[in-house]
Amino acid sequence: MRWSCATPSSAGLSVGGIIAQGLAAERPDLAAAIILCDTAAKIDTPDMWDERIAAVRQGGIAALTDAILERWFTAEFRTRAPDFPLWRNMLLRSPAEGYIGTCAAIRDTDLVESTSRLRLPCLAVAGSEDGSTPPDLVRETASLIPGSRFEVILGAGHIPGVERAETLGRLITGFLQDNGYV
């Protein structure tokens, strides 16, 4: 299938969803619709992010790898997926300063007020087993945007495009079709 959007849209997963919300709020001319996947307008507390930053500064990414992967992927995926070691390796090879910078950016971001001003079609999606941005948190963010559609992908963690790619693809395609973008 070839997609051609008649109007601009913004989409993002996790920190990318934070960026998508900010873009839609600051440049509404660039986003006529928004897809928010496993993200929120405000994620956790500054103290939690400071603890992660300190742990990585002290022990590198390896200090948090197992805990991060437990939040990102379901137990089934972590134990049975043949490509799980590749995801682990990707995380371990991530530059510590990049991870620290991302944590600081998320810590310092609160988009509740600006996201609540958005008036555009929105699809918000959460993996049922997401340990980073649980479904209730994603649902809260969706509720800030009138008329939003919220969906849970069963058996997926924080990155449903890896664990349930076909389901996520159907949701996105349906949303784009329903809004005349495909």
Residues 78 and 125 occupy one common structural domain: no
**What is the predicted pLDDT for the residue at 6?**
45
**Listed residues 72, 106, 140: the one ending a domain:** 106
53-109 pLDDT per residue, tens: 999 999 999 999 999 999 999 999 999 999 999 999 999 999 999 999 999 999 999
Residues 55 and 15 occupy one common structural domain: no
Residues 73 and 155 occupy one common structural domain: no
**Residue 4: band (very low, low, confident or very high) from pLDDT cuts 50, 70, 90:** very low
Residues 34 and 72 occupy one common structural domain: no
**Listed residues 85, 106, 127: the one ending a domain:** 106
**Listed residues 106, 125, 147: the one ending a domain:** 106
Residues 59 and 102 occupy one common structural domain: yes
73 neighbors 50 (Cβ within 8 angstroms) = no
Residue-range definition of the domain harbouring residue 91: 46-106
**What is the predicted pLDDT for the residue at 182?**
79
Residues 120 and 167 occupy one common structural domain: yes
Largest CA distance in the chain: 50
Residues 172 and 132 occupy one common structural domain: yes
128 DSSP assignment:
T
**Residue 145: band (very low, low, confident or very high) from pLDDT cuts 50, 70, 90:** very high
Higher pLDDT, 5 or 45: 45
User: Average pLDDT, stretch 129-133?
Assistant: 98
What is the torsional sign of CA 144, 149, 154, 157? negative
Closest CA to 20 of 5, 42, 7, 35: 35
The two tokens of residue 109 are 């971001």
Q: Does the pLDDT value for residue 177 go beyond 80? A: yes
**Number of folded domains that form the chain:** 2
**Residue 131: band (very low, low, confident or very high) from pLDDT cuts 50, 70, 90:** very high
CA dist 110 and 135 (Å) reads 18
Residues 50 and 81 occupy one common structural domain: yes
Q: Record the pTM.
A: 0.93
Q: Is residue 39 part of a domain?
A: yes
Residues 93 and 38 occupy one common structural domain: no
Residues 93 and 61 occupy one common structural domain: yes
CA dist 14 and 76 (Å) reads 21
Q: Does the pLDDT value for residue 50 go beyond 80? A: yes
